[in-house]
Amino acid sequence: MFTSPSVRACVLIAALFTGAAHAETISVAVASNFTAPMQKIAAQFEKDTGHKAELSFGATGKFYAQISNGAPFGILLAADDKTPAKIAQEGKGDAASRFTYSIGKLVLWSKQDGYVDANGEVLKTGKFQHVAIANPKLAPYGLAAEQTLTKLNLLDAIKPKFVQGENIGQTYQFAATGNAELGFVALSQVMEDGKIKSGSAWVVPAEMHEPIRQDAIVLNNAKDNVAAKALMDYLKGDKARAIITAYGYAF
């Protein structure tokens, strides 16, 4: 059957308009350690679904305080599992939506090649002035770093050399700029495509600290948001998981 060009154009415009009408935006609070993978995931998510994820990055502890004070986030991608559990318990989020989107890995990193050995023995030498660490009261990676040093019987000796970041993003900056020769950071911050991008590193064995289970939860602001459900589903899919794995996370 013949269809005129003008009719075909109208059909195409209507289809595009319908798709745009169904696309929604979701505001996502993202733990600092997950910055790089989430930026890639959000771009791919928008390309594949039409929905848009607006990302804010920071410390999980600070996000919790902001959410408690009514901040209009729709999803929290936390750096731990305790904060989303607390949010669900307090009725600020959908308990049924909560799941572990990744398990983080801690790394001791220096921007200098050859500075950190493969077993972290550099910590025992004491031949450094500063070690960057995230605030263990706010950041799970900081707590994991303290637990690691405690297990190595080095916490008391190294604590005076701590340069404390508010979150893991600031902690990485201390190490990356050389303000600290060493830094306990997230593996995702120094890894891409399965390789350490620069400098030298010791990937801390998982048994040295409590598992860094990172949970996601849909907050009450987004309980009816189509994009929220779509993003949570997307994070469980193969495309997102391939990106997450490339940055050194496990499941």
pLDDT value at residue 9 = 46
Query: Quick check: 10 pLDDT over 70?
Result: no
Distance CA 86, CA 80 (A): 11
- In this prediction, residue 161 has a pLDDT band, given cuts at 50, 70 and 90, of very high
Percentage of residues in the chain having pLDDT higher than 90:
85
Q: What is the CA radius of gyration of the chain?
A: 21
Comparing 34-38, 119-123, 191-195, the range with the smallest average pLDDT is 191-195
User: In Å, how far are 60, 70, 154 from 64, measured between CA atoms?
Assistant: 6, 10, 31
- In this prediction, residue 139 has a pLDDT band, given cuts at 50, 70 and 90, of confident
**Tens-digit pLDDT profile for residues 18-30:** 444 479 999 999 9
Token pair for 166: 């508010």
pLDDT value at residue 4 = 52
Query: Quick check: 14 pLDDT over 50?
Result: no
**Tens-digit pLDDT profile for residues 63-97:** 999 999 999 999 999 999 999 999 999 999 999 99
User: Phi/psi at 193 (nearest 5 deg)?
Assistant: 55, 35
Query: Quick check: 8 pLDDT over 70?
Result: no
DSSP the chain: ----HHHHHHHHHHHHHHHHHH--EEEEEEEGGGHHHHHHHHHHHHHHHS-EEEEEEE-HHHHHHHHHTT---SEEE-SSSHHHHHHHHTTSB-GGG-EEEEEE-EEEEESSTTSS-TT-THHHH---S-EEEE-TTT-HHHHHHHHHHHHTT-HHHHGGGEEEESSHHHHHHHHHTTSSSEEEEEHHHHEETTEE-SSEEEE--GGGS--EEEEEEEBGGGTT-HHHHHHHHHHTSHHHHHHHHHTT-B-
User: Phi/psi at 208 (nearest 5 deg)?
Assistant: -80, -10
DSSP 47-92: HHHS-EEEEEEE-HHHHHHHHHTT---SEEE-SSSHHHHHHHHTTS
Per the model's pLDDT, the better-predicted residue between 1 and 187 turns out to be 187
- In this prediction, residue 7 has a pLDDT band, given cuts at 50, 70 and 90, of very low
**Tens-digit pLDDT profile for residues 192-249:** 888 999 999 999 999 999 999 999 999 999 999 999 999 999 999 999 999 999 999 9
Distance CA 8, CA 144 (A): 60
Cβ neighbour number for residue 34 with a 10 Å cutoff = 27
Query: Quick check: 55 pLDDT over 70?
Result: yes
Comparing 48-52, 104-108, 124-128, the range with the smallest average pLDDT is 124-128
Comparing 34-43, 135-144, 147-156, 213-222, the range with the smallest average pLDDT is 135-144
pLDDT value at residue 11 = 43
- In this prediction, residue 16 has a pLDDT band, given cuts at 50, 70 and 90, of very low
Distance CA 188, CA 147 (A): 20
Query: Quick check: 138 pLDDT over 90?
Result: no
Cα 61–Cα 67–Cα 72 angle in degrees, nearest 5: 135
Distance CA 81, CA 215 (A): 5
**Rounded mean pLDDT of 7-32?**
66
**Rounded mean pLDDT of 27-51?**
97
